Amino acid sequence: MSKAEPPPGAIACHRRGTCRLCGGGELELVLGLAPTPPANAFVGEEAVGEPQQVFPLDVFLCRDCSHLQLLDVVDPVHLFENYVYVSGTSPVFVDHFRRYADDVIDRMAPPEDGLVVDIGSNDGTLLRFFKERGRRVLGIDPARDVAAAANAGGIETVVGFFTPERAGAIRDNHGPASVITANNVFAHADDLAGIVAGVRHLLEPGGVFALEVSYLVDVYGKTLFDTIYHEHLAYHSVKPLCAFLARAGMEMIEGLRVDSHGGSLRAIAQHAGGPRPVGDSVAELTALESEMGLDRVATWKGFAKRIGSLRDELGSLIGGLKAAGKTVAGYGAPAKATTLMHHFGLGPDVIDFIVDDNPLKQGLYTPGHHIAVLPSAAIEERRPDYLLILAWNFAGPIMKKQAAYKAGGGHFIVPLPTIEVH
């Protein structure tokens, strides 16, 4: 990528040359997806006719530590200051975070009055459950409007990115933390070493750091390629993550598989030599990753071919429906839909409109393709023949919620992990 200054108004992007976990320079391109705008770069009606910047979605495997990652880094201020994802709009995620808080408290037994700090706390949904169980809570999030809503809802939230300097300020003002969480944000940051340095400084000697990320075992096994977008710079597996944490003076003590986002890893770590033993789960998942060949270039080249086959299959299905005069709408406008739609060629000639339950997205238009995002009432008003469920990880609840649409003759298409028509 050119190092020339971007034109006025352009979003800054640079390509790094080293692995963000081990610092190695032996990086091989294993998957090239269609370039896209930032996944959450929805636009208003006034910008529908204007082209948007797109950035590479090239995935590299580090030959030194086997970490899978993007090297093209889009300006994080642009990605996160006006974030439009809100955890609390999804009943599935609200329940997930309730169980998450219970699991950490029951498994790790942090002190009753301990401080829980959530990095990338969004609207405070997770912290609310820790607070209900008697813990002091503090959120950190760069999305100004979302953080303001969290503060208004009684969850104290600092606006900004988590850095070692901010960690020091939090410790000075609130004391050390007994639990620090980072959910689906440990994949978002370019400077992971800086985050862990901040965590080490803020975390009390017997405290735990719980991070949850999309798990590479599931990304590969279920062909979840649409979880690859510019906000997600890192695609984590246990082996390279353990080595990274060890170099930073911490150790992973549990690696737990959870259902969120099609399959995630909840890694729990402590200071190196901390009071808790390392659980069997760490070695078990490391062995599974090796068995699947996640550290081999050939594995990811095969993954790319599998994605191409899915693209052809879905294109043939929808092409046949459109040729027969059928109408297709989308359900859900999650960030990952941007990758799916661009790589599979699902533009306005294919999808008439999209519905989403997040009011922050309603009335906007999708990144790049500029397809209108409407409230779910549009399904009854417009009666599309097929609903393509872009938020496929919520396909079950969505189809249940839209039982009346199905009873009236409507059909659902689930694009991943395998293509299904209901």
At a CB cut-off of 8 Å and minimum separation 6, what does 45 contact? Answer: 363, 365
Which residues is 183 bridged to in the sheet?
212
Side-chain-side CA neighbours of 109 within 13 Å: the count stands at 2
**Radius of gyration (C-alpha) of the chain in whole angstroms:** 21
Query: How far, in Å, CA of 356 to CA of 306, rounded?
Result: 29
Nearest to 388, CA basis, from 335, 359, 351, 349: 351
pLDDT tens-digit series, residues 318-342: 999 999 999 999 999 999 999 999 9
**pLDDT per residue of the chain (422 residues) written in tens, 0 to 9:** 334 444 556 888 999 999 999 999 999 999 999 999 999 999 999 999 899 999 999 999 999 999 999 999 998 877 776 655 566 667 878 899 999 999 999 999 999 999 999 999 999 999 999 999 999 999 999 888 889 999 999 999 999 999 999 999 999 999 999 999 999 888 888 999 999 999 999 999 999 999 999 999 999 999 999 999 999 999 999 999 999 999 999 999 999 999 887 789 999 999 999 999 999 999 999 999 999 999 999 999 999 999 999 999 999 999 999 999 999 999 999 999 999 999 999 999 999 999 999 898 999 999 999 999 999 999 999 999 999 999 998 899 999 999 999 999 999 999 998 999 99
Nearest to 289, CA basis, from 341, 224, 216, 226: 216
Here the tokens at position 32 are 């090239």
Q: How far is CA 345 from CA 97, 223, 314, 408, in A?
A: 34, 17, 10, 29
Query: How far, in Å, CA of 228 to CA of 300, rounded?
Result: 13
**Residue 247, amino acid:** R
Dihedral pair phi/psi, residue 190, rounded to 5°:
-80, -40
At a CB cut-off of 8 Å and minimum separation 6, what does 99 contact? Answer: none
Query: How far, in Å, CA of 318 to CA of 310, rounded?
Result: 12
Domains of the chain: 87-295 (3.40.50.150), 298-421 (3.40.50.720)
Query: How far, in Å, CA of 287 to CA of 319, rounded?
Result: 42
Dihedral pair phi/psi, residue 399, rounded to 5°:
-65, -35
